[in-house]
Chains A and B, each alone.
Chain A
Amino acid sequence: MNVIQCEKLSKKFGRLHALQDITCTINGEKIIGVIGRNGAGKSTLLTIIAGFLKPTNGYCQVFNENPFNNIQAAANSILIDDQLSFSDYLSLEEILKMGADFYPNWQNELAYRLLHYANIDLSVKHQQLSKGQMATFNLVYGLVSRCALTILDEPMNGMDEAIRTDFYRAILKEYIAFPRTILIASHHLQEMESILEEILLIDEGTVVTHASVDELKEQLIALSGPSDRMKSLLSETDVYAQQIVGGVSTAIVDASKLFITEEMLRTKGITKSALTASEICRYLTNHKGSDIDAIFD
């Protein structure tokens, strides 16, 4: 069964095209990173999947049902973002009690342990928490609810470095303990890359690529070598970025369009190196003329 299936999904807010022709399928229990720049449409996509918004065109299905205003979809999915709010009259402890009442797979003890670890006092109220604490609490709330589809939109915003590392590990451990589909939207791919299985890269409201992390990492490579030798090579492939420093040029190219053996490269004195996933995402979503240096020229 497909967990999420989007077909030619688009969403307009007035004149703004937030999403255009999103087609993607997510199946199985995976941790998937939804990556994109600010305003790429990540949050809009996630809120549509969570059933908060209605697509303007196309359709979106979650667990083979239209999630919009659907109570079964709501019972099996949870969206955690910085807008998550709770009544002013509830202490954190009571919030956990409420969560336990609603979500059948709720892990109350785990919540207590995680919050204790994060040094969050359970007797305070949600809006009294600091930004980082609130993000931590929200993430814990999302994790212990153990919904089949857990959507985390920028879950680590405001958390400090140490707690971020801890909670990426917490997400992983919770996932291993209770496999489910976890969507994590973030622009900090670097720090969560290792726990992801797939990456859904979104830019300007469309899906740029949807691949496993390893596949993504093989999409682009960096070549560097003497400029004259590079020139002929680069004409055959798509170049994403190029920099020439003192006769040595470095270029980011599409690996799938590079038909040349490693020996050939070596004899030409060109070295090949891999890029990190976050670098690849950056290059894939680089728009023409979006080079910051160009502005200062």
Chain B
Amino acid sequence: MHIHLDSTTPIYIQIAEWLQHEIIANRLQADEKVYSQYQLAELFNINPATAGKGLTILLEEQLLYKKRGLGMFVATDAKDRILSKRRNEILTKMAQEIVLEAQRLLVSDEELLALIQKTQEELK
């Protein structure tokens, strides 16, 4: 993955998203040590403070936990929580955007549903 500097999303959120992505993809297992802020900084060529901010977001959401002096580890239920959160938040938000765009383009509800179904079939 590459950090997009000119993306509208702040870098620290991109970092948090990347870590979540790694957890979902099982590249970071439960109770496994995650990258330190310095490792992340070197990995993505970003300021360690920015990387730390990304980690803090996950820490606040309790997807990570801290062991004093050892670093941060993936919470046991992290993957499940991320998945459910994604379902709730991200999908809802994306649905909203699709619906708004459909309205703007004067696409009827039936047409929109059909499009979603069709896309689902294609990507299966």
Does B108 belong to the interface (CB within 8 Å)? no
Interface segment, B24-32, B42-50, B110-118?
B42-50
Once bound together, how far apart are the Cα atoms of A17 and B49, in whole Å? 35
Is B84's beta carbon under 8 Å from chain A?
A: no
Which stretch in B7-15, B65-73, B75-83 binds the other chain?
A: B7-15
Q: Are B47 and A273 in contact (CB under 8 A)?
A: no
- B8, B11, B42, B100: the one contacting A214 at CB < 8 Å is B11
Q: Could you tell me the distance between the alpha carbons of A218 and B53 in the complex, rounded to whole angstroms?
A: 15
A217:B41 contact, CB within 8 angstroms: no
Given A190-B5, A269-B104, A276-B6, A172:B41 Cβ within 8 A? yes
Which residues of B lie under 8 Å from residue A90 when comparing CB positions? none
Indicate if A274 sits at the interface (CB-CB under 8 A). yes
* Residues of B with C-beta under 8 A to A214: 10-12, 50, 53
A193 and B5 contact, Cβ closer than 8 Å, known pairs A214-B10, A214-B12: yes
Separation of A269 and B48 alpha carbons in the complex (Å): 38
Q: Is A194 an interface residue (CB 8 A)?
A: yes
Q: Is the interface of A mostly helix, strand, loop or mixed?
A: helix
Q: Per-residue 0/1 for A168-196: is the Cβ within 8 Å of any B Cβ (1 yes, 0 no)?
A: 11001101100000000000001001111
Q: How far is the CB of B105 from chain A (nearest CB, A)?
A: 12
- B38 interface contact, C-beta 8 A: yes
Is B47 a contact of A196 with CB atoms below 8 Å? yes
Docked complex: A244-297 residues within 8 A CB-CB of B: 266, 269, 273-274, 276
Q: How far is the CA of A273 from the CA of B9 in the complex (A)?
A: 9
Find out whether the CB atom of A31 lies under 8 angstroms from the CB atom of B6: no
B residues 75-124 near A (Cβ < 8 Å) are 96, 100, 104
The range of chain A's interface size is 20 to 34
Q: Is the CB of A266 within 8 A of B100?
A: yes
Say whether A195 contacts B47, CB under 8 Å.
Answer: yes
A72 within 8 A of B: no
Cβ of A197 < 8 Å from any Cβ of B?
yes
Q: Which of A194, A269, A273 contacts B8 (CB 8 A)?
A: A273
A125 close to B (CB within 8 Å): no
Which residues of B have CB within 8 Å of A176? 38, 41-42, 48
**In angstroms, how far is the closest chain A Cβ from the Cβ of B64?**
20
Q: For B8, what are the chain A residues with a Cβ–Cβ distance below 8 Å? A: 273-274
Asked if A242 is an interface residue, CB under 8 A from chain B, the answer is: no
Chain A residues with CB under 8 A of B59: none
Is A30 in contact with chain B by the CB < 8 A criterion? Answer: yes
Annotate A15-30 by CB proximity to B: 1 below 8 A, 0 otherwise. Answer: 0000000000000001
A276 pairs with B49, CB closer than 8 A: no
Question: In the bound complex, how far is the Cα of B8 from the Cα of A194, in angstroms?
Answer: 14
B47 and A31 contact, CB distance less than 8 A: yes
Q: Is A78 an interface residue (CB 8 A)?
A: no
Complex interface: chain B residues within 8 A of A30 (CB): 49
| A169-B45 CB under 8 A given contacts A213-B50, A214-B50, A269-B104 | yes
| Cβ contacts A to B, 14 pairs, < 8 Å | A168-B45, A169-B45, A172-B42, A176-B42, A194-B5, A194-B45, A194-B47, A212-B49, A213-B11, A214-B50, A217-B10, A266-B100, A269-B104, A276-B5
Nearest 10 Cβ contacts at the A-B interface: A274-B8, A197-B49, A197-B47, A194-B46, A176-B38, A214-B10, A276-B6, A195-B47, A273-B8, A169-B45
